[in-house]
């Protein structure tokens, strides 16, 4: 029986330098492929790429807008990394962001007369607890009934979204909005202060990068997360309480995402809306895997994604491109960069003449 025309074969482990070269080649191919797409719709790819970069850095305001995009993406990517290290497939960052924002918004709306810093600390704690509890629910069901965490966390996203819809239609509805269902804008006392012209969520995000790097790499709990991710049986044999580790880690994962929701609601939106997460929770999954679950690389990849996001919107307004064209360009670039990860571990083997590989 002849060999198939093409087979996928596992590679020998590549050296770090070879992996870096492969990923750089993927970035170059992505830029070339994106350029061909831009050329095919009648625009100069060099000018468009130049506009993308300049659109993010041409002024202090543009740079600040880029960082504002990056903050929730970076925080939520760090959050899902904790779960993914344990091989718990947390697809619920979107819902955890929302619930963190909901819990924090309660204090912003109903206790805005508190001392500013006490109020901010209360909102921060509430965001952490809200996101953590939303992450704890699927973890409890997983450890108790062995439910599918991918589907469970995904479905919780939609429940969280409809909770906001219910709040803005009902108990938290802005009575001054004539016929329009929305939640009132936060009092200035409940808004995050700005540092260098940007809400100080960026400082929290940078601190989180360092904290999660140290936690995963140097702490006992970080070591336990890695062992559970490799093999739960091995973890049990070593005397680890796997159930407790799963529950604790998912609470932390959801808590970090919930903190991102609080930062977005109180720092950028200054209110609670159904778009508080805005798809960031799903993009965070891509960022975390592209960065190989490395917190420092997550910072770099989040910045690159934010530049692409902000730059694409500038290209839309500058050249009159539709949002669909900008989305296609982003998709082409992501396709090549994500596709390269296959070739880090696998290669294609073609059948030679006579059926031999």
CA distance 169 to 10: 54
CA distance 32 to 312: 16
CA distance 157 to 93: 8
Under-50 pLDDT residues of the chain: none
Is there a domain that residue 312 lies in?
no
Question: Which domain range does residue 112 map to?
Answer: 71-293
Is there a domain that residue 11 lies in?
no
CA distance 257 to 132: 8
Is there a domain that residue 50 lies in?
no
Task: Give the CA angle between residues 38, 40, 45 to the nearest 5°.
Answer: 30
What sign does the dihedral 78-83-86-88 (CA atoms) show?
Answer: negative
6 strand-pairing partners:
350
Helix segments in 231-355, DSSP class H: 232-237, 242-263, 280-290, 295-319, 323-345
Nearest to 98 by CA among 244, 278, 238: 278
Is there a domain that residue 223 lies in?
yes
Convert the pLDDT of each residue in 282-304 to its tens digit. Answer: 999 989 988 889 999 999 999 98
pLDDT score of 323:
66
pLDDT score of 332:
83
Is there a domain that residue 304 lies in?
no
Measured in degrees and rounded to the nearest 5, phi and psi for residue 98 equal -60, -45
Is there a domain that residue 18 lies in?
no
Convert the pLDDT of each residue in 104-160 to its tens digit. Answer: 999 999 999 999 999 999 999 999 999 999 999 999 999 999 999 999 999 999 999
Tokens of 328: 């296609």
CA distance 253 to 96: 9
pLDDT score of 2:
60
Structural domain count of the chain: 1
Is there a domain that residue 303 lies in?
no
Is there a domain that residue 215 lies in?
yes
Residues 6 or more apart whose CB falls under 8 angstroms from that of 210 comprise 295
């Amino acid at each position: 029986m002849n060999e198939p025309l093409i087979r996928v074969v596992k590679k020998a482990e590549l050296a770090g330098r070879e992996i870096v070269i492969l990923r750089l080649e993927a970035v170059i191919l992505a830029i070339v492929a994106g350029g061909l797409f831009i050329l095919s719709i009648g625009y100069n790819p060099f000018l468009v790429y130049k506009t993308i970069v300049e659109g993010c850095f041409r002024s202090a305001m543009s740079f600040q807008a880029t960082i504002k995009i990056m903050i929730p993406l970076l925080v939520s990517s760090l959050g899902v990394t904790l779960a993914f290290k344990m091989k718990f497939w947390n697809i619920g960052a979107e819902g955890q962001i929302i619930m963190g924002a909901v819990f924090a918004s309660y204090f912003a709306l109903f206790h805005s007369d508190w001392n500013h810093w006490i109020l901010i600390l209360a909102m921060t704690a509430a965001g952490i607890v809200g996101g953590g509890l939303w992450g704890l629910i699927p973890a409890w069901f997983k450890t108790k009934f062995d439910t599918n965490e991918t589907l469970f966390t995904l479905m919780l996203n939609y429940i969280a979204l409809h909770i906001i819809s219910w709040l803005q239609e009902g108990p938290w509805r802005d009575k001054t909005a004539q016929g329009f269902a929305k939640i009132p804008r936060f009092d200035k006392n409940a808004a995050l202060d700005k540092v260098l012209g940007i809400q100080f969520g960026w400082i929290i995000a940078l601190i989180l990068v360092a904290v999660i790097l140290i936690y995963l790499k140097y702490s006992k709990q970080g070591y336990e997360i890695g062992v559970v991710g490799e093999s739960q049986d091995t973890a049990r044999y070593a005397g680890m309480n796997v159930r407790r580790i799963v529950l604790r880690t998912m609470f932390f994962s959801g808590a970090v995402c919930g903190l991102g929701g609080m930062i977005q609601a109180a720092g950028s939106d200054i209110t609670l809306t159904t778009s508080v997460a805005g798809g960031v929770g799903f993009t965070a999954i891509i960022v975390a895997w592209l960065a190989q679950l490395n917190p420092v690389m997550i910072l770099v990849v989040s910045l690159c994604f934010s530049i692409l996001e902000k730059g694409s919107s500038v290209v839309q307004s500058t050249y009159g491109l539709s949002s669909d064209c900008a989305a296609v360009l982003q998709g082409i670039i992501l396709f090549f960069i994500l596709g390269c990860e296959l070739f880090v571990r696998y290669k294609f083997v073609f059948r030679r003449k006579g059926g031999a590989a």
